[in-house]
Amino acid sequence: MIRLEPRQAPSASMRVATPVLAIVLTIVTGLFIFALLGKDPVRGFEVFFVNPLKTTYGVSEWLLKATPLALCAAGLAVGFRASVWNIGAEGQFIVGAIGATFVALYVGSIPVVTLVLMVVLGVAAGAAWAAIPAFLRTRFNASEILVSLMLVYVAELLVSWLVFGPLRDPMGFNFPQTVMFEPEALLPILVPGTRLNLVLGFVVVALLATYVLVFKTHLGFKMRVAGESPSAARYAGIPAKAMIWLGLLIGGGCAGLAGMAEVAGPMGQLTDKVGSGYGFAAIIVAFVGRLHPVGIALASLLMALFFIGGEQAQQYLGLPGSISMVFQGLLLFYLLATDVLIGYRIRFARQPNVAAKSEARMS
């Protein structure tokens, strides 16, 4: 009989080991899935995990794909530490892209100024979208999980209406897209011949700022206390409503910045496909990274490899593009399963009735 025995104190080493174990189990299960689908597992592993990193361009695309994941996850991690469960980063990402698009289309092509305004409005739009669940939670005690999640679909409908209607390119053959942005509204390229742009710098700054906020400031300490022990936070006079507002606004602002970087970077315009699941995948990234900036950076690289590997598997193995979502789901499943090991120790014991029968036979 298998039973779970509570640990006296959570193990610090297990907090590091369980994400690694979850990753290994995800890869092994993925190879087994390749075999079930009639594909060579070794070839599948090569296509999924090795091919994307063989060239400089491939590595640049890998880093580019990781940037929105890291930005969204960094903002979410701040709220999660305060037990503020923002599940709507995808909607905040989309609204941030919309805000930046209005600047690109209507402010004009002013060097530096246009990009600065796009950043400001992208962050502000994402934070404003997150302010809706913050207000409803603090005013009416509505669940920020449900409200932020439902707002994702509102954002998707909003961007669809815009690109099919008032913002549609009149010369775009009726495709749901805006005109291409002017060069002044595009982020500078860091590596010539690739699409890797200045957003990589945004990620570095965001991760450093997250680390300083959470671990080096009094405000970050109060947020961690509010998340780990609400009763202790109340006793210490830490305002719970302020922590909710901060957690949601920071998460929304980071997601909005990621959305701005997407339309001002690889896309170069706004389309109805701007929401690519980054906001939802960032939730997994935040937890795999243990809500720590270093862990988030590494987890975002892994998740980006899942995205690109899924595209490679679709192209070279004839598998559906959704194979990347299978890997994402497996990673989340195994992470939740192995996280049990942090609080509990697995014990194997004989069932009492079996032991009693054995003793009776011996006597």
pLDDT in tens, 246-286: 999 999 999 999 999 999 999 999 999 998 899 999 999 99
pLDDT band, residue 16 (cuts 50/70/90): confident
pLDDT in tens, 302-341: 999 999 999 999 989 998 878 999 999 999 999 999 888 8
List the structure tokens of 265: 């970077």
The total number of structural domains in the chain stands at: 1
Domain presence at residue 357: no
Using CA atoms, how far apart are residues 199 and 216, in angstroms rounded to an integer? 25
Buried b (16+ CB within 10 A) or exposed e, 23-49: bebbbebbbebbeeeebebeebbebbb
Domain presence at residue 48: no
Using CA atoms, how far apart are residues 315 and 308, in angstroms rounded to an integer? 11
List the structure tokens of 241: 């409503």
Domain presence at residue 46: no
Strand partners, 79: none
CA dist 217 → 62, 210, 222, 223, 231 (Å): 33, 10, 9, 10, 21
SS3 189: strand
Using CA atoms, how far apart are residues 82 and 243, in angstroms rounded to an integer? 7
SS3 247: helix
Is there a contact between 164 and 270 (Cβ–Cβ < 8 Å)? no
List the structure tokens of 35: 């075999």
Domain presence at residue 37: no
Q: What is the DSSP string of 190-246?
A: SSTTS--BTHHHHHHHHHHHHHHHHHHSHHHHHHHHHHH-HHHHHHTT--HHHHHHH
Domain presence at residue 331: no
Backbone CA torsion sign across 148, 151, 155, 156: positive
Domain presence at residue 225: yes
pLDDT in tens, 128-141: 999 999 999 999 99
List the structure tokens of 137: 């939670």
Looking up tokens 């961007």, which residue turns up?
A: 159
Type of residue at 275: G
Using CA atoms, how far apart are residues 103 and 259, in angstroms rounded to an integer? 13
Strand partners, 3: 347
pLDDT band, residue 233 (cuts 50/70/90): confident
Q: Average pLDDT, whole number, for the chain?
A: 92
pLDDT in tens, 65-77: 999 999 999 999 9
List the structure tokens of 81: 């530490």
Section 186-206 average pLDDT = 96
Nearest-5° Cα angle at 156, 151 to 160: 145
Domain span at residue 232 reads: 64-296
Domain presence at residue 39: no
Domain presence at residue 351: no
Q: What is the DSSP string of 85-141?
A: ----HHHHHHHHHHHHHHHHHHT---TTHHHHHHHHHHHHHHHHHHHHHHHHHHHH-
